[in-house]
Copies of this chain bind each other. A is one copy, B any other.
Amino acid sequence: MKDIILENQSLGKQSIKFANPPAIISRSSVVGELEGNGPLSSYFDVIESDPTFGKDNWEEGESEMIRQAAQLAISKSGLQKEDIKYIFGGDLLGQLIGTTFGLKDLNIPVFGLYGACSTCGEALSLASMCVAAGYARHTLAITSSHYGSAEKQFRFPLEYGNQRPLSATWTVTGSGAFVLSSTSKEQPMLNYPRIVGITTGKIVDYGVKDSMNMGACMAPAAADVIYQALEDFNLKPDYFDKIVTGDLGKIGSSILIKLLKDNNINIEEKHFDCGVEIYDNSLQDTHSGGSGCGCSAVTLASYLLHLMDENELKKILFVPTGALLSTVSFNEGQTIPGTAHALLIEKE
């Protein structure tokens, strides 16, 4: 036991530092047409113009998108699917039907996860914990969201033509998948991006009730986990090339920066929000920006890890953010708590 504790460190209140950081040996991003017309277009692996991905409805389309992302990440890794011991995955739909029907034919053990739009952080955290403990040589982390299936579930079916306030975000149609592999002192795999540590978020509730302003619901959770990650790892924001949040959008981002400034932490120069960057709001009319489990997943899998490949980024704090609500909790008058999970992703 003591060998393990000496190797993988339980750090501070909420963090773990891996002695042998799992390497992201491959990844994939499969997105819809709107994302494919956005500023990150050239970095995505697959852009599909059919919103149902050749299937009969949005939900089956989302499953097909997940299936393609999983298979592509595995094939790009050079592994066979039999080499992947566990999948850690989830989506936004009730009872995770996107993930279930997308992954069922792969015949790989699955841990189903739900952390709203923070699920990419949760999946990468658990997949790396599993690999770094020696439980598996290879795992797959995967998440997705789909504009059509999410609007139908959380708001109105698209045919209804509901108007949306400017504070609302646009659910990204996209699935991002990552193959994580074990490293060792002998084979540290320094030429890959590696997950050197994680900070797992609490459920943070500031009492916000506006489901059309999810950025405001999630910003306190993002501030909380970023503060704790810096504390647990004893780092300053300057350590990172970028501090990346999932889908706070414009409004949530400004709240996050203010909340951290109030605690004497200035991340303004380092901050990057996937929701702000994935669309060009002046051309694409996506209001406060992108959201959904797929937003941070495909932005990491495409643009951000590309910058790491090119050595333009070496160290990022990756913080997917989630708003914890359902139509039932919302209609019963509950607040909308947020959560967020942080990962330290580094390349030597």
Contact = CB atoms under 8 A, between A and B. Distances in A.
Contact of A134 (B5, B57, B137, B337): B5
A182 B100 CA distance: 32
A130 interface: yes
Contacts of A107: 202
Interface in A1-20: 1-5, 7-8, 10, 13-14, 16, 19-20
Most buried by B among A86, A185, A326: A326
Contact of A10 (B19, B59, B136, B185): B136
Most buried by B among A93, A201, A205, A328: A328
Nearest to A137: B10
Interface in A203-243: 203, 205
A324 interface: yes
Nearest to A4: B134
B135 A104 contact: no
A160 to B, nearest CB: 17
Given A59-B332, A135-B129, A326-B95, A203 B111 contact: no
Given A86-B200, A114-B112, A202-B110, A134 B8 contact: yes
A54 interface: no
A152 to B, nearest CB: 8
Contacts of A73: none
Interface string A125-155: 1100110111111000000000000000100
Interface string A55-97: 0110110000000000000000000000001100010111111
Contacts of A200: 86, 109-111
A122 B133 contact: no
A122 to B, nearest CB: 6
Nearest to A112: B114
A324 B95 contact: yes
Given A4-B134, A95-B116, A110-B202, 18 more contacts: A1-B182, A5-B134, A10-B134, A60-B332, A94-B95, A94-B327, A95-B326, A96-B324, A97-B328, A101-B334, A108-B202, A111-B115, A112-B113, A114-B114, A129-B130, A129-B135, A133-B133, A153-B328
The 3 A-B pairs at the shortest CB distance, nearest first, are namely A94-B94, A133-B133, A95-B326
